[in-house]
């Protein structure tokens, strides 16, 4: 959620920044409601001061045994007036909040202009795409030939975009999860095991609701939602809390299943395990002081990149342009792994600085040392990594001529020393 005071003071600057995301916002109704609300608040405060003055005079007259009937009647009238004004304030404040909940975060000044993915700025590439001297198979064919991915039974059990992992496929997924969590813990993240079902307030806090209601699964008739990412419960751990500055930064990692309706994604990535309704992911979340969020983003990107390097997977990192950024993001780096079946790089992690956007929605503050005032924290999140996409990248990049899959050395201990899947 954007700062209403900032919009009030510099609406054109905020509008210009939002145009980087190709979003046009007319703040006229918001500012009209805000002006009316402030006028009502000022009148309420004035009337309350008057009521206090009259109450003191009533007390004085009663103490001196004077008649206070007229003053008591006057005080009753003031109280009724205050109640009427407060009844007007409620809908105004609700309208202001609803408006702000629908406005995206503004990108930081160094976010490049652009319309979409083609305008993202490549930061660097690490590792060379492999050269094969045999016909290359996509991960869906490899998975079926090795009997570790079962798409037909996934469809039978649930429908399209669901997959059953079998044998070494299930073991590989579990090995990747444990490897990622251990890696993240070694880099200072505290492991959390959060619920997969959250309430509506949690999704509002991180920005999925109300705007992206079609992309999340709601449990009917209960007001629970399946999490689209562990970012939701991890960030909301501190909803409606005031943190001490000495406790910052907070660094969390979690493995969860994630659930996305993928509304509007028909026809894209329909084969394999790149885009599923249910998928596994290891997430990183940081809660930091505002002055530290840019450095924290750079560190988070390196945390995710180092996983790919350990798994011997070629990748590139790109800085997203304004037109390719998400609703709540102020600055985002995508890490894209090389997939031979795509003959291209495919997103495997997205690391974002959300600045104070989520903190305002979830009311997460901290109290600077020596200060009585509180400030909003900055929150950051990133995938480290999407497990299914990592598995797909491993299968494709490490496939061998005999149809087997080479297991990277760093991952072998998590598979009991096994150095390959399949083969003779």
- Whole-number pLDDT of residue 255: 98
Contact predicate 27/7, CB 8 Å:
yes
Q: 292 and 247, same structural domain?
A: yes
- Whole-number pLDDT of residue 309: 98
Q: 191 and 44, same structural domain?
A: no
Q: 345 and 260, same structural domain?
A: yes
- Whole-number pLDDT of residue 200: 96
Class of residue 56 by CB neighbours under 10 A (exposed 0-12, middle 13-18, buried 19+): exposed
The answer to the question of whether 306 is labelled as a binding residue is no
Q: 73 and 47, same structural domain?
A: yes
Cβ-based neighbours of 252, under 8 Å, separated by 6 or more: 189, 190, 191, 192, 234, 237, 284, 285, 286
User: Is 8 a domain residue?
Assistant: no
- Kindly state the DSSP code that residue 355 receives in the 8-state scheme: T
Q: 163 and 77, same structural domain?
A: no
User: Is 413 a domain residue?
Assistant: yes
Q: 84 and 49, same structural domain?
A: yes
User: Is 76 a domain residue?
Assistant: yes
User: Is 3 a domain residue?
Assistant: no
Q: Tell me, what CATH number does 84's domain have? A: 1.10.287.40
User: Is 301 a domain residue?
Assistant: yes
The answer to the question of whether 294 is labelled as a binding residue is no
User: What is the Cα–Cα distance from 172 to 278, expressed in whole angstroms?
Assistant: 17
Rounded to 5 degrees, what are φ and ψ at 249? Answer: -80, 155
Q: 174 and 57, same structural domain?
A: no
- Whole-number pLDDT of residue 76: 77
Q: How many domains does the chain have?
A: 2
Q: 61 and 171, same structural domain?
A: no
**Could you give the count of Cα atoms lying within 13 Å of 72 in the half-sphere of its Cβ?**
8
What's the angle, vertex CA 101, arms to CA 96 and CA 107, rounded to 5?
115
Q: With the CA atoms of 304, 310, 312 and 317 taken in that order, what torsion angle do they form, in degrees rounded to the nearest 10?
A: 20
- Whole-number pLDDT of residue 263: 60
Q: 202 and 72, same structural domain?
A: no
The answer to the question of whether 72 is labelled as a binding residue is no
User: Is 197 a domain residue?
Assistant: yes
Residue 76 in tokens: 């009753």
Q: What are 204-250's pLDDT values in tens digits? A: 999 999 999 999 999 988 889 999 999 999 999 999 999 999 999 99
Q: Tell me, what CATH number does 326's domain have? A: 3.30.930.10
User: Is 15 a domain residue?
Assistant: no
Residue 1 in tokens: 């959620």
- Whole-number pLDDT of residue 75: 73
Q: 390 and 265, same structural domain?
A: yes
Contact predicate 199/208, CB 8 Å:
no
The answer to the question of whether 293 is labelled as a binding residue is no
What is the span of the domain harbouring residue 64?
Answer: 26-101
Contact predicate 283/385, CB 8 Å:
no
User: Is 52 a domain residue?
Assistant: yes
Residue 279 in tokens: 């998928």
Give catalytic residues, as residue numbers: 260, 275, 347, 350, 389
Q: 91 and 147, same structural domain?
A: no
User: What is the Cα–Cα distance from 399 to 376, expressed in whole angstroms?
Assistant: 48
Contact predicate 11/367, CB 8 Å:
no
Rounded to 5 degrees, what are φ and ψ at 56? Answer: -65, -40
Which of 43, 74, 101 is the last residue before a domain boundary?
101
The sign of the dihedral angle between the CA atoms of 48, 52, 58, 61 is negative
pTM for the predicted model, two decimal places: 0.92
Q: 239 and 290, same structural domain?
A: yes
Which of 101, 133, 154 is the last residue before a domain boundary?
101
Which of 69, 101, 133 is the last residue before a domain boundary?
101
* Under-70 pLDDT residues of the chain: 62, 68, 263-269, 424
The answer to the question of whether 347 is labelled as a binding residue is yes
- Whole-number pLDDT of residue 146: 96
């Amino acid at each position: 959620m954007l700062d209403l005071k900032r919009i009030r003071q510099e609406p054109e600057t905020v509008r210009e920044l939002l145009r980087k995301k190709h979003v046009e916002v007319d703040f006229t109704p918001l500012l009209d409601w805000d002006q009316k609300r402030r006028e009502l608040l000022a009148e309420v405060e004035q009337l309350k001061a008057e009521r206090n003055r009259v109450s003191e005079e009533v007390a004085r007259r009663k103490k001196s045994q004077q008649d206070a009937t007229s003053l008591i009647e006057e005080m009753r009238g003031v109280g009724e007036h205050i109640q009427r004004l407060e009844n007007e304030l409620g809908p105004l404040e609700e309208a202001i909040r609803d408006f702000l909940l629908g406005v995206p975060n503004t990108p930081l000044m160094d976010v490049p202009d652009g319309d979409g993915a083609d305008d993202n700025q490549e930061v660097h590439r690490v590792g060379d795409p492999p050269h094969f001297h045999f016909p290359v198979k996509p991960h869906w064919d490899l998975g079926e030939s090795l009997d570790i991915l079962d798409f037909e039974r996934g469809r039978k059990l649930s429908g399209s975009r669901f997959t059953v992992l079998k044998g070494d496929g299930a073991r590989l997924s579990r090995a990747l999860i444990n490897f990622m969590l251990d890696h993240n813990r070694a880099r200072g993240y505290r492991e959390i095991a959060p619920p997969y079902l959250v309430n509506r307030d949690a999704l509002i806090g991180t920005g999925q609701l109300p705007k992206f209601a079609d992309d999340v699964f709601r449990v009917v008739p209960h007001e629970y939602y399946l999490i689209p990412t562990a970012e939701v419960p991890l960030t909301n751990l501190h909803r409606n809390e005031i943190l001490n500055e000495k406790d910052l930064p907070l660094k969390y990692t979690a493995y969860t299943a994630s659930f996305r309706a993928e509304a509007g994604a028909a026809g894209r990535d329909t084969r394999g395990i790149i885009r599923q309704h249910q998928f596994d992911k290891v997430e990183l979340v940081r809660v930091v002081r505002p002055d530290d969020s840019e450095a924290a983003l750079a560190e988070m990107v390196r945390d995710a990149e180092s996983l790919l390097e350990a798994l011997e997977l070629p990748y590139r990192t790109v800085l997203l342009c304004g037109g390719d950024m998400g609703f709540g993001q102020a600055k985002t780096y995508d890490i894209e792994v090389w997939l031979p079946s795509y003959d291209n790089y495919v997103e495997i992690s997205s690391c974002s600085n959300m600045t104070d956007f989520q903190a305002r929605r979830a009311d997460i503050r901290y109290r600077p040392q020596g200060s009585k005032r509180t400030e909003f924290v900055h929150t950051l999140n990133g995938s480290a990594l999407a497990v299914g996409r990592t598995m797909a990248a491993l299968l494709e990049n490490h496939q061998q001529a005999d149809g087997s899959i080479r297991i990277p050395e760093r991952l072998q201990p998590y598979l009991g020393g096994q150095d390959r899947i399949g083969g003779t």
